[in-house]
Amino acid sequence: MPVNVLFAALPERWETYETPLKNALTAAGVEANLTLDLPPGEVDYIVYAPNSDVQDFTPFTRAKAVLNLWAGVEDVVGNETLKIPLARMVDHGLTQGMVEWVTGHVLRHHLNTDLHVHGQDGEWRRYVPPLAGDRRVTVLGLGALGSACATALANLGFDVTGWSRSPKDVAGIACLSGAEGLTKALRQAEIVVLLLPFTPETENTLNAETLAQMPKGAIIINPGRGPLIDDAALLEALDSGQIGHATLDVFRVEPLPVDHPYWAHPNVTVTPHIASETRAETAAEVIAENIRRGEAGEPFLHLVDRDLGY
C-alpha cells in the first residue's frame, strides 16, 4: 500500500518539487502517493515549509514525521500542536551553495576586491593583501553549514577558528565553545561568519558588548539568521569604525525595507537572502530517504531537538 505524503508548502513550490520528489521516492524504493491535498487523517508524512497554510498539526492523527524543506526551523519548532518528529533539511546542494557564497565573500573582503570593482576611474590602486594564512577568520556555528564553510576556508589556507555552544571537533579548525570561548573567538576575528541557528539563546549574539571585543575594523558576514545581530549596535559599530564592513544576507524583516539604514550605509553590503537555496533535486533525495527510513523503522536523519530548538 502506498504511503500518503502531503506537500504542505506555498502552492508555487509544487511546480519545483513535484518531479524531483516523485523521482527521489521512486529511486529510494518507496511507493508513495504524493499530493497537495489529502484528508489530514490519512497523511503519513508531511513535506513541510513553515510558511504553508498548515499551522495546526492536531488533525494529522497518523502522520509519522514532519520533513522540513528549509534548513531553519525556528518558525515551526515552537508549534505546540506538533507532537511527532520534525526533521530539518540538511541538503548537499544547500551546504555546497553556502560554502560557495561564504568563500566568495570571505575572499572578497580578504582581497578587498570592492576597491577595484568600485574604482574603475583610471587610478592604479595597488593593494596587496596578506596571504590567507595570516588572515584570521572565525566561524560562529559548527553545524553542517558552519563546519563545511570552516573546512573550505581552512583548505584555501585561512587561519580558521570555529565556535559552537557545546564543544565540537572539526579537523583543521581551532574549535572553541561556551561563553569564554566566544570572547576568545571574537577577539581574534578579522572576519567573522555567522552560521548559528536562531534560538532564544543565539539572538543578538553580536551586540554592543561582543562587537566591542572584535579587532577594530573587523568584517562581519551574516548568511545565518537576521536576529543573530543587534542591528542598532551594529550600525553604531559601523559608524564608529569599530566594524569595518558588514555583508548581510538575512534580516529580521525580509525583503529588507527600502528605508532601512543598512541599504544606505557605505560599509554595508545587503544581499537578498541568496547565500544558499535549497535545491529541489538534492533536497528531494533527503526527504525521500527519511520516508524510506520511516517505513523501514530506521531512525530519521536530521531530527530537531525541541529543547535546543535546532
Please report, as ranges, the residues that interact with a copy of itself according to CB under 8 A. Answer: 93, 96-97, 99-101, 103-105, 107-108, 110-111, 113-114, 116-118, 120-129, 131-133, 152, 155-157, 254-256, 258-259, 263-264, 268-274, 277, 279
What nine digits make up the cell of 90? 540538511
CB of 302 to a copy of itself, least distance (A): 20
What stretch of H or E contains 180?
helix 178-187
Q: Which is nearer to a copy of itself, 154 or 195 (CB)?
A: 154
Distance CA 138, CA 214 (A): 11
Q: Which is nearer to a copy of itself, 83 or 116 (CB)?
A: 116
CB of 152 to a copy of itself, least distance (A): 7
Distance CA 13, CA 7 (A): 9
- What residue type is 153 in one-letter code? L
User: Looking at the DSSP assignment, which residues form a beta bridge with residue 33?
Assistant: 4
DSSP string, 48-79: E-TTSS----TT-TT--EEEESSS--TTTTT-
Question: Catalytic pick from 273, 279, 293, 306?
Answer: 273
74 Cβ contact list (under 8 Å, min separation 6) = 197, 198, 199, 225, 309, 310
CB of 43 to a copy of itself, least distance (A): 30
Q: Which is nearer to a copy of itself, 214 or 280 (CB)?
A: 280
The question of whether 225 is a catalytic residue gets the answer yes
Distance CA 154, CA 189 (A): 14
Q: Which is nearer to a copy of itself, 105 or 302 (CB)?
A: 105
CB of 65 to a copy of itself, least distance (A): 27
Q: Which is nearer to a copy of itself, 128 or 179 (CB)?
A: 128
Question: Catalytic pick from 225, 245, 292, 302?
Answer: 225
52 Cβ contact list (under 8 Å, min separation 6) = 8, 9, 10
Distance CA 181, CA 4 (A): 47
Q: Which is nearer to a copy of itself, 108 or 306 (CB)?
A: 108
What nine digits make up the cell of 116? 577595484
CB of 63 to a copy of itself, least distance (A): 31
Long-range contacts of 238-241, Cβ-Cβ distance < 8 Å, separation of 24 or more: 238/265, 238/267, 238/268, 241/216, 241/217
Contact 216, 242 (CB under 8 A): yes
CB of 123 to a copy of itself, least distance (A): 8
The question of whether 273 is a catalytic residue gets the answer yes
CA atoms within 13 A on the CB side of 206: 37
Phi and psi at 229, nearest 5°, equal -115, 135
Question: In angstroms, how far is CA 236 from the centroid of its own chain?
Answer: 25
Positions annotated as catalytic residues are 225, 273
